[in-house]
Amino acid sequence: MNRTINVGLLGLGTVGSGTAKILLGQSGLLEQRTGTRIRLSKICDLDITTSRGFSIPTEILTNDVRSLLDDPDLDIFIELIGGIEPARTFLLEAIQKGKHVVTANKALLATHGHEIFSAAAEYGVEVGFEASVGGGIPVLKAVKEGLVANQFHTIMGIMNGTANYILTRMTDEAMAFQDVLAEAQSLGYAEADPTYDIEGIDTAHKLVIIATLAFGKLIDFSDVYIEGISRISPLDISFTKEFGYRIKLLAIARDTDSGLELRVHPTMIPSRHPLAQVDGAYNAFQLVGDSVGNVLLCGLGAGQMPTGSAVVADVVDIARNLVKGTTGRVQALGLPCDALVPLKKSPMDSLVGRYYFRFSAVNRPGVLARISGILGDLDISIASVVQKGHGEEPSVPIVMLTHRANEARVRQALKEIDALDVISGRTMVIRIEDLQTLKEGV
Amino acid sequence: MNRTINVGLLGLGTVGSGTAKILLGQSGLLEQRTGTRIRLSKICDLDITTSRGFSIPTEILTNDVRSLLDDPDLDIFIELIGGIEPARTFLLEAIQKGKHVVTANKALLATHGHEIFSAAAEYGVEVGFEASVGGGIPVLKAVKEGLVANQFHTIMGIMNGTANYILTRMTDEAMAFQDVLAEAQSLGYAEADPTYDIEGIDTAHKLVIIATLAFGKLIDFSDVYIEGISRISPLDISFTKEFGYRIKLLAIARDTDSGLELRVHPTMIPSRHPLAQVDGAYNAFQLVGDSVGNVLLCGLGAGQMPTGSAVVADVVDIARNLVKGTTGRVQALGLPCDALVPLKKSPMDSLVGRYYFRFSAVNRPGVLARISGILGDLDISIASVVQKGHGEEPSVPIVMLTHRANEARVRQALKEIDALDVISGRTMVIRIEDLQTLKEGV
């Protein structure tokens, strides 16, 4: 078959521009690789006059989304405007009109995914969403196809480039969180309202999407425990380094006896582990399957061209189906929508792991005894203690690393400790994941 | 469609057993994910009496390959016996009989790939070969599908677990090459004849396969420059560490102005680079595309279950096509066989890079002057020199790191230097790749 595949693009922002650049600039390459012509026939944006720095035929530009949705010849509808509405409405309408859709909209899929995927199944169209998780890294395809023979134990990763960039700068330059954030904002690396990125919400959106595919469970955004990076101080970074760790904002989905752990929080990982070396805007995923063992994927998690690369890969996947006159070859979620089973969530209270505490202690005799007494009473045993100070400061940081302990007991202990008159501020807690370095035998 | 897909497996060695274990043990999971039953209907091996440690229905075991090749109901033929013949003959016959084939046979594909792929194109069947490169890592799928929107600049990686295991042990335990090799052989990690693994031949086979897909060129095995790891000494490992590098057996395919570089050799890479952290039996690939930038994939490059995971992924890919009544959706090479263009190879002599030299110098005044004189005359400028010795040894190692220099001149210089009466042994040369750590901004 040699028919042309017509693609409409909604949203000519950062990712939209990257997508358009690839579709317009690499049409020869894409035709050779797919055996068909993929034509970007319409681009819709509210602003179609400002130059995006590359040449776009004016006749394909429109600011009327109806000219995409109502075009019977449009095969694939790409939504890159982000946010819940009107993205959701446009996507659903495109689906109902029998158009295949591609989106990078993680917020929408993490909160309204079931609606979108069910509609697509009902109308027999494809939903491509590789670009919603991990930018240019083909990680969703790895979960659904390349590692299809596996039951997954753990899906874990650094899924937000802005947060990772901030932590990297804090680590390398010993800068304070607020200073790095301000710098990142002035450089355009962080948004004016950085809440989604720094508070772990964007990371949690991505975790919901990838964990749904990997574990085949109905996961709701509210199922994810979320903690951001805004409370991390240069002191924490420096102590962490001394202990041989680095702090990363990690998303973790792990299958345990008590159910599926779903959590996003700053995490100390051994500095020799490959994930600890993933710096700046890079994202990385560690997938653990029962047959394959550990697989790591790493790449740029955001940005015009990397994310555009993922959007176009989805377009090509759909085009390759259309060339063969088929659809639904791989289910959007890797298995039928109605095969998703209810989530059995592992409650945070039952988490067991190692912890980093930084106490803000009043410089007075007996403080250490009172803290360690409370910890001991709750069965939290201490692996290392560091107290640094010159003896004159009114308040000194005391840092402890625990052995394996239970989260509920840790919370109870910190409640009691933070109420002590010798504690002058809220204790900083960072969870530790003692990931094995990748080093097994042959 | 709900028909059963019948799979025949030839070869019940390490990878064959892993494949059988997954196909037999995960049939429910696979049925859910593909929407069809994938039935391992026949297993052929010369030895069908020895237990493989898991249960196989005896009625599917045979030692007659004809019962697979002549079975009109067999949809997919998996070849896991390795080597050129009779694997080649069996694969070609299966293809001619209209069976889809899956193989992990990198030696065969690197040397007779064109014959296999052309036959498959002629008879309209699929060839799955994900397991031939990178064990469980879905790297070929990433090249052909997930990163389809990219023109690749560089494909680079650690592609042999045995060599990487040996280098890791040498680095961590300061052991000599021969001692680690003997140990690895006694543990079954290295073969009795380890030539393919340690001399870079297996790595070069894999490079031919992945570079063919990534660059769309007709690449012959003889196009690859190959150097193994058997000459690396504990001294080299230790100097390398001091300079902040690690030695890895790297395969590199890089698109340059003078053509495509294709080389396999021990390489010094910065110890902070993620590839330097890939230890033991792990493999890793760094793919550099024009849109996506750097993508890294890492996982177990060999072994029963990881490689079985890749074989089964190929089976599933084909099954998903058959369910939809289609084939050839993604070309085996990512583009039509006849679209491959002749290779313009960049000659090794035109390579420009940094080099590590370890000279075995006679302990006598003026040696350094003579060595550096020759280097200077050939425009090879020295970045660092380390000479260590207590002044009493008859021979001392002098180590130099160069600035960027041309390979042909380096060879000429070493020829002249090694002929000096003050040089007591062949100079060790290791190429340096100053890979950027993954750290760009957002």
Q: What is the DSSP string of B268-300?
A: EEETTSGGGG--TTEEEEEEEETTTEEEEEEEE
Contact A292 B299 (CB under 8 A): yes
Structure tokens at B411: 């060879």
Token pair 């396999």: residue = B264
Q: Is B272 on the interface with A (CB under 8 A)?
A: yes
Contact A441 B292 (CB under 8 A): no
Runs of H (alpha helix) within A396-436: 407-418
Q: Is A266 on the interface with B (CB under 8 A)?
A: no
Q: How far apart are CA A293 and CA A155, in angstroms?
A: 12
A185 and A256 within one domain = yes
Identify the pLDDT of residue B440. 56
pLDDT digits (tens, 9 = 90+) for B90-100: 999 999 999 99
Within a domain: B441: no
- Reported as type and span, the H/E element at residue B407 is helix B407-418
Of chain B, the end-to-end C-alpha distance in Å amounts to 46
Within a domain: B437: no
Question: A265 by DSSP, 3-state: which?
Answer: strand
A357 and A317 within one domain = no
Q: Is the dihedral of CA A202, A203, A206, A211 positive or negative?
A: negative
Q: Which of B268, B150, B134, B277 is nearest to B207 (CA)?
A: B134
Residues 6+ apart with CB under 8 A from B344: B217, B259, B260
Residues of B annotated catalytic, as ranges: 206
What secondary structure does DSSP assign to A4-40, as a single string? Answer: PEEEEEE--SHHHHHHHHHHHHTHHHHHHHHSS-EEE
Last residue of a domain, one of A266, A284, A300: A300
Identity of the residue in B149, B306, B439 whose CB atom sits nearest the CB atom of A22: B149
Q: How far apart are CA A159 and CA B327, in angstroms?
A: 35
B330 and B186 within one domain = no
pLDDT tens-digit profile, chain A (442 residues): 458 999 999 999 999 999 999 999 999 999 999 999 999 999 999 999 999 999 999 999 999 999 999 999 999 999 999 999 999 999 999 999 999 999 999 999 999 999 999 999 999 999 999 999 999 999 999 999 999 999 999 999 999 999 999 999 999 999 999 999 999 898 887 888 999 999 999 999 999 999 999 999 999 999 999 999 999 999 999 999 999 999 999 999 999 999 999 999 999 999 988 899 899 999 999 999 999 999 999 999 999 999 999 999 999 999 999 999 999 999 999 998 889 999 999 999 999 999 999 999 998 888 999 999 999 999 999 999 998 776 677 788 999 999 999 999 999 999 999 999 999 999 999 999 998 876 654 3
Q: How far apart are CA B403 and CA B432, in angstroms?
A: 10
The secondary structure of residue A436, as a DSSP letter, is P
Provide the domain count of chain B: 3
B159 and B54 within one domain = no
Q: Is B274 on the interface with A (CB under 8 A)?
A: yes
CB contact residues (below 8 A), chain A span 378-437, against chain B: 437
Query: What's the CATH code of the domain at A389?
Result: 3.30.70.260
CB contact residues (below 8 A), chain B span 181-210, against chain A: 184, 187, 189-190
Runs of H (alpha helix) within B83-176: 87-96, 106-123, 139-141, 161-173
Identify the pLDDT of residue B441. 45
Its domain, for residue B46, covers 5-135+304-339
Q: Is B127 on the interface with A (CB under 8 A)?
A: no
B280 and B150 within one domain = yes
Q: Which residues pair with A88 in a beta bridge?
A: none
- Does the annotation mark A206 as catalytic? yes
Q: How far apart are CA A297 and CA B367, in angstroms?
A: 48
Q: How far apart are CA B52 and CA B305, in angstroms?
A: 13
CB contact residues (below 8 A), chain A span 215-244, against chain B: 216
The secondary structure of residue B142, as a DSSP letter, is I
Within a domain: A440: no
Contact A145 B330 (CB under 8 A): no
Chain centre to alpha carbon of residue B136: 12
What strands lie across the sheet with B100-103, from one edge to the other?
B61-62, B38-44, B5-10, B76-79, B100-103, B127-128
Q: Yes or no: say if A327 and A126 are a contact pair by the CB < 8 Å rule.
A: yes
Q: Yes or no: say if A243 and A144 are a contact pair by the CB < 8 Å rule.
A: no
What secondary structure does DSSP assign to B285-343, as a single string? Answer: EEEEETTTEEEEEEEE-SSHHHHHHHHHHHHHHHHHHHHTT---SS-TTSS-GGG-EE-
Last residue of a domain, one of A287, A319, A342: A342
The secondary structure of residue A345, as a DSSP letter, is B
Query: What's the CATH code of the domain at B46?
Result: 3.40.50.720
B290 and B369 within one domain = no
A147 and A290 within one domain = yes
Q: How far apart are CA B351 and CA B408, in angstroms?
A: 8
Q: Which residues pair with B298 in a beta bridge?
A: A296, B284
What type of residue is B31? E
A222 and A283 within one domain = yes
What type of residue is A286? Q
Identify the pLDDT of residue B442. 39
Helix, strand and coil percent figures for chain A, each rounded to 5: 40, 25, 35
Contact A299 B313 (CB under 8 A): no
Within a domain: A442: no
Query: What's the CATH code of the domain at A190?
Result: 3.30.360.10
Identity of the residue in A147, A296, A316 whose CB atom sits nearest the CB atom of B149: A316
Within a domain: B442: no
Identity of the residue in A26, A187, A298 whose CB atom sits nearest the CB atom of B149: A26
C-alpha to C-alpha distances, B400 to B264, B276, B397, B414, B431, nearest whole angstrom: 22, 21, 10, 12, 12
Last residue of a domain, one of B243, B273, B300: B300
Identify the pLDDT of residue A442. 39
Within a domain: B438: no
* A60 min Cα distance to partner chain B (Å): 21
CB contact residues (below 8 A), chain A span 300-339, against chain B: 300, 302-303, 305-306, 308-310, 312-313, 316-317, 320-321, 323-326, 328-331, 334-336, 339
Low-confidence ranges of chain B (pLDDT < 70): 1-2, 390-391, 438-442
Within a domain: B251: yes
**Strand duo B38-44 + B61-62: pairing:** parallel
- The ipTM is 0.95
Q: Which of A45, A66, A65, A67 is nearest to A56 (CA)?
A: A45
Identify the pLDDT of residue A2. 57
Contact B324 A323 (CB under 8 A): no
Contact A324 B323 (CB under 8 A): no
B310 and B388 within one domain = no
Q: How far apart are CA A310 and CA A294, in angstroms?
A: 23
Q: Which of B328, B343, B359 is nearest to B423 (CA)?
A: B359
B124 and B33 within one domain = yes
The secondary structure of residue A72, as a DSSP letter, is T
Identify the pLDDT of residue A364. 85
Identify the pLDDT of residue B257. 94
Q: How far apart are CA B269 and CA B244, in angstroms?
A: 8
CB atoms within 10 A of CB A65: 23
CA angle A260, A261, A263 (to 5 degrees): 145
- Reported as type and span, the H/E element at residue B234 is helix B234-242
Residues 6+ apart with CB under 8 A from A292: A147, A149, A150, B136, B299, B300, B305, B306, B309, B310
Cβ burial, residue A296 (10 Å; 0-12/13-18/19+): buried
Identify the pLDDT of residue A78. 98
CB contact residues (below 8 A), chain B span 33-62, against chain A: 33, 35
Within a domain: A29: yes
Q: Yes or no: say if A328 and A322 are a contact pair by the CB < 8 Å rule.
A: no
C-alpha to C-alpha distances, B291 to A138, A313, B299, nearest whole angstrom: 13, 11, 24
B292 and B143 within one domain = yes
* B28 min Cα distance to partner chain A (Å): 11
- Active-site residue, from A21, A99, A106, A206: A206
C-alpha to C-alpha distances, B413 to B22, B306, B389, nearest whole angstrom: 55, 45, 24
A228 and A248 within one domain = yes
* A262 min Cα distance to partner chain B (Å): 23
